[in-house]
């Protein structure tokens, strides 16, 4: 890979955030991490990531709100988003689809699966991978 893939990871749980970040870093990603959706949005503006992972339930700005803002902005609408959350009700999944989430992984997640999904999305971009 000529240049490293960049990911923004947002989760209000430091343990989960670190787990996702470490697994992606072991695969060669440059990872920027945030504790909430607003932090993720700020990082997206700074690092221009290839992919973003978001928890749904976070302070300040939820994952759903962050996805909506990313999709509304022409400069960030193309960035693939993976929701990594314990919110797995049918309504949550439907809302994610309506907002344009590219993949939805429920906690607890298998780290290898997360790395696979995130890597494929980062390399192929939005709307080229279906989950």
CATH number of the structural domain spanning residue 65: 3.40.50.2300
Within a domain: residue 59?
A: yes
| Residue 9, pLDDT above cutoff 70 | yes
Is residue 129, in this structure, part of any structural domain at all? no
pLDDT tens digits for range 31-56: 999 999 999 999 999 999 999 999 99
To which H or E segment does residue 85 belong? strand 81-85
Report if residue 83 sits inside a domain: yes
Residue 76, domain member (yes or no)? yes
Report pLDDT digits (tens) over 101-123.
999 999 999 999 999 999 999 99
Q: In the predicted model, is pLDDT for residue 130 greater than 60?
A: no
Q: How many other β-carbons are positioned within 10 Å of the β-carbon of residue 111? A: 14
pTM, entire model: 0.92
Residue 22 lies in a domain: yes
Angular region, 16: left φ>0, alpha ψ -120 to 50, beta rest: alpha
pLDDT of residue 3: 67
- Residue 105's pLDDT is 94
Residue 68 lies in a domain: yes
40 inside domain: yes
Residue 79 lies in a domain: yes
pLDDT of residue 89: 87
Q: Is residue 131 pLDDT above 50, yes or no?
A: no
Domain residues for the domain of 109 are 6-124
Domain count, the chain: 1
- 3 or 55: whose pLDDT is higher? 55
């Amino acid at each position: 890979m000529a240049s490293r893939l960049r990911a923004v990871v947002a989760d209000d749980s430091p343990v989960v955030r670190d787990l996702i970040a470490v697994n992606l870093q072991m695969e060669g990603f440059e990872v920027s991490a945030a504790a909430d959706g607003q932090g993720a949005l700020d990082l997206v503006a700074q690092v221009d990531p290839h992919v973003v992972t978001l928890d749904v339930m976070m302070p300040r700005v939820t994952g759903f709100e962050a996805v909506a803002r990313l999709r509304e902005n022409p400069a960030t609408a193309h960035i693939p988003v993976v929701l990594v959350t314990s919110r797995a009700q049918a309504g949550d999944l439907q809302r994610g689809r309506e907002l344009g989430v590219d993949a939805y992984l429920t906690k607890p997640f298998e780290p290898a699966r997360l790395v696979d999904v995130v890597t494929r999305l980062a390399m192929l971009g939005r709307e080229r991978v279906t989950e």
